[in-house]
Amino acid sequence: MTTSTLVGYARTSTTDQKAGLQAQLRDLEQAGCTKVFREEVSSVATYRPQLAAVLQWVREGDMLVVTKLDRLARSVADLVSITAALKAKGAGLRILAMNLDTATPTGKLMLNLLGSIAEFERELMLERQREGIAKAKAEGKYTGRQPTARAKAKEVLRMRAEGKSVSDTVTALGISRASVFRILAEHAEAAPTS
């Protein structure tokens, strides 16, 4: 007979948010979590190693516990993916701040409703954004995306030819070090070989 485990997952966006992480760990411990996975990584990161580890670790009957929904999922699609992975393993999800537990029929319904509402709000926001852009274009006010660092490629190459350092170039042109290196690398590839 397998015993179920309350498994916690805590996440903060940066290492500067120590207090937020400590508060999550405290709440997960008070909720009875005997195993806790924690990480300091942005929710927009494409890969969250500790989230992947917890989804790998949970077993049938276990319950993944998070303090808030935004600590777990970055979008409705992400939430659907995570809950599907949990369901496939026979595990549930509990969100403390919402008093939501997917082990109950009401919890499952609430999670689906929340996901649908979030998706609906996102679609409305995108529709308003498209309408605003169309209006601005019609009025001749839409400028589109601002020029990127590539627009400053000539200046980067000129400063390099003058012997300026990468740091001087970054400061003078207001672009990132990565952009400077990318421009220099592209120019080196395009240079004719003799």
Same domain, 169 and 76: no
Q: What residue has token string 């979030």?
A: 118
pLDDT of the residue at 54: 96
In a domain, 135, yes or no: no
Residues of the chain whose pLDDT is less than 50?
A: 1, 194
pLDDT of the residue at 26: 96
In a domain, 132, yes or no: no
Three-class SS state of 100: strand
Three-class SS state of 35: strand
User: What are the tens digits of pLDDT across the range 47-87?
Assistant: 899 999 999 999 999 999 999 988 888 777 788 889 889 99
pLDDT of the residue at 1: 44
Burial tier of 83 (Cβ tally within 10 Å: 0-12, 13-18, 19+)? buried
Which segments within 28-176 are labelled E, that is strand? 35-40, 63-66, 92-95, 100-101
In a domain, 72, yes or no: yes
- Residue 100 carries which side chain, given as an amino acid letter? L
> What CATH number is attached to the domain comprising 162?
1.10.10
Q: Based on the structure, what is the number of domains in the chain?
A: 2
Same domain, 51 and 111: yes
Range of the domain at 37: 6-116
Query: Please, are residues 59 and 89 in contact by the beta-carbon 8 Å criterion?
Result: yes
CA distances from 106 to 57, 81, 94 (A): 26, 20, 12
pLDDT of the residue at 50: 94
Same domain, 59 and 109: yes
Instruction: Give catalytic residue positions.
Output: 13
pLDDT of the residue at 111: 80
